[in-house]
Amino acid sequence: MVYNIALVKGDGIGPEIVSSAVKVLEKVGAKYGHEFKCTDYLAGGCAIDATGMPLPEETVEGCKASDSVLLGAVGGPKWDKLPGDKRPEKALLGLRKALGLYTNLRPAKLYPALKEECPLRADIVEQGFDLMMVRELTGGIYFGDRGRRDGKYGPEAYDTEAYSVMEIERIARAAFDAARKRRKNVISIDKANVLETSRLWRETVHRIGEEYPDVQLSDMLVDNAAMQLVRRPSQFDVVVTSNMFGDILSDEASQITGSIGLLPSASLGATKCGLYEPIHGSAPDIAGQDRANPIATILSAAMMLRYAFDLSEEADCIERAVDEVLAAGLRTADIVGNSGATPLSCTEMTEEILKRI
| Secondary structure tally for the chain: helices H, strands E | 12, 12
List 223, 285, 310, 316, catalytic entry: 223
Specify whether 142 is catalytic: yes
The active-site residue, picked from 163, 247, 307, 334, is 247
Q: Is 152 helix (H, G, I), strand (E, B) or coil?
A: coil
Q: Residue 80 catalytic?
A: no
In angstroms, give the least distance from the CB of 265 to ligand NAD: 9
Q: In terms of CB distance, is 247 or 334 closer to ligand NAD?
A: 334
Q: Which of 26, 89, 130, 323 binds ligand NAD (CB under 6 A)?
A: 89
Based on the shown chain and the rule CB under 6 A, indicate whether residue 293 belongs to the binding site for ligand NAD.
yes
Minimum CB–partner distance for residue 126 and ligand NAD (Å): 28
Name the nearest CA neighbour of 191 among 232, 223, 158, 226. Answer: 223
CA 23 vs CA 16, 20, 239, 333: distances in Å = 11, 5, 32, 21
Report the site for ligand NAD in 243-282 (rule: CB under 6 A): 261, 277, 280-282
Applying CB under 6 A, does 284 fall inside the site for ligand NAD?
A: yes
Active-site residue identified among 177, 251, 290, 323? 251
- Whichever of 136 and 334 has its CB closer to ligand NAD, that residue is 334
Whether 251 is catalytic: yes
Considering only 168, 174, 283, 298, the residue that binds ligand NAD (CB under 6 A) is: 283
Are 96 and 137 in contact, with CB atoms under 8 Å apart? yes
Q: Tell me the one-letter amino acid at 11.
A: D
With vertex at residue 275, the alpha carbon angle to CA 273 and CA 276, rounded to the nearest 5 degrees, is 125
User: Mask of contacts with ligand NAD, 9-28, x by CB under 6 A?
Assistant: ----x---x-----------
Q: Is 292 in the site for ligand NAD (CB under 6 A)?
A: yes
- φ, ψ at 240 (rounded to 5°): -120, 135
The secondary structure element, H or E, covering residue 316 is: helix 312-327
Residues numbered 65 to 84 that lie near ligand NAD (CB under 6 A) are 73-76
Residue 223 among the catalytic residues: yes
Active site residue 64: no
Measured between alpha carbons, how far is 79 from 315 in angstroms, rounded to an integer? Answer: 35
Q: Which of 273, 334, 349, 357 binds ligand NAD (CB under 6 A)?
A: 334
If the CB atoms of residues 95 and 205 are measured against ligand NAD, the closer one turns out to be: 95
Contacts of 308 (CB under 8 A, 6+ apart): 3, 67, 68, 272, 273, 274, 276
CA 193, 198, 202, 205: dihedral to nearest 10 degrees?
-160
The least CB distance from residue 188 to ligand NAD, in Å, is 27
3-state secondary structure of 335: helix
Residue 210-249 contact track with ligand NAD, rule CB under 6 A, x = bound: ----------------------------------------
Residue closer to ligand NAD, measured from CB, 200 or 296: 296
Q: How many residues does the chain have?
A: 357
Quote the least distance from Cβ 92 to ligand NAD, whole Å: 6
Tell me the catalytic residues: 142, 191, 223, 247, 251
| Interface contacts to ligand NAD, rule CB under 6 A | 13, 17, 73-76, 89, 92, 261, 277, 280-286, 292-293, 296, 334
